[in-house]
């Protein structure tokens, strides 16, 4: 609105300046003027009125409605601009290769960790089985093997083998 008011004020000043200039040029005789006569131009020379056009006046009197700023940006095609290719990033290929190597290294590390845990679990299982069998083999009161203990350990071993 300030810009519009400023433009209107400047236009009014120009018009009044041109009117004053015309009056002064009429007062000075032609032979005193140093400028050559202007070329003949046929222009509608109706006096400019200081009133605004009704449509413009209505627009100025209308209350200003502020639009909320949109959160989404229109696409470049919607704004009439050409699509720009992204700026080339130096060492992009090397960065991608390094990232791929790191991912492969992480995958190998995870596989090795999983294998290590699996080996450790199997070792602990074997050790537990060995201790249970050693305890079952020891003689009871009369020196005989404890078959109840041994059968439970063997049954668990068979169930694990069948489950795999």
Q: How far apart are the first and last CA of the chain?
A: 82
The three-state secondary structure class of 52 is coil
Q: In this predicted model, what pLDDT tens digit does every residue of 12-57 receive, in sequence order?
A: 999 999 988 888 776 655 555 555 555 555 555 555 566 777 777 7
Retrieve residue 124's tokens.
Answer: 């602990």
pLDDT score for 41: 55
d(CA 21, CA 43): 18
pLDDT tens-digit map of 89-116: 888 899 999 999 999 999 999 999 999 9
pLDDT of residue 26: 66
**pLDDT at position 154:** 87
CA distance linking residue 106 with residue 98, whole number of Å = 12
């Amino acid at each position: 609105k300030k810009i519009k008011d400023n433009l209107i004020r400047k236009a009014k000043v120009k018009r009044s300046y041109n009117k004053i200039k015309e009056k002064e040029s009429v007062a000075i005789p032609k032979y005193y003027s140093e400028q050559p006569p202007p070329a003949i131009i046929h222009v509608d020379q109706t006096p400019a009125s200081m009133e605004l056009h009704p449509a413009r006046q209505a627009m100025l009197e209308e209350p200003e409605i502020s639009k909320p700023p949109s959160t989404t940006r229109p696409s470049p095609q919607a704004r009439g601009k050409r699509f720009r290719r992204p700026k080339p990033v130096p060492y992009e290929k090397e960065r991608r290769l390094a990232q791929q190597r790191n991912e492969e290294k992480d995958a190998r590390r995870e596989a090795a960790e999983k294998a290590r845990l699996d080996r450790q679990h199997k070792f602990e299982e074997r050790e537990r089985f060995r201790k249970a069998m050693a305890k079952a083999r020891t003689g009871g009161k009369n020196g005989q093997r404890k078959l109840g203990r041994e059968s439970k350990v063997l049954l668990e071993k068979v169930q694990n083998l069948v489950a795999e």
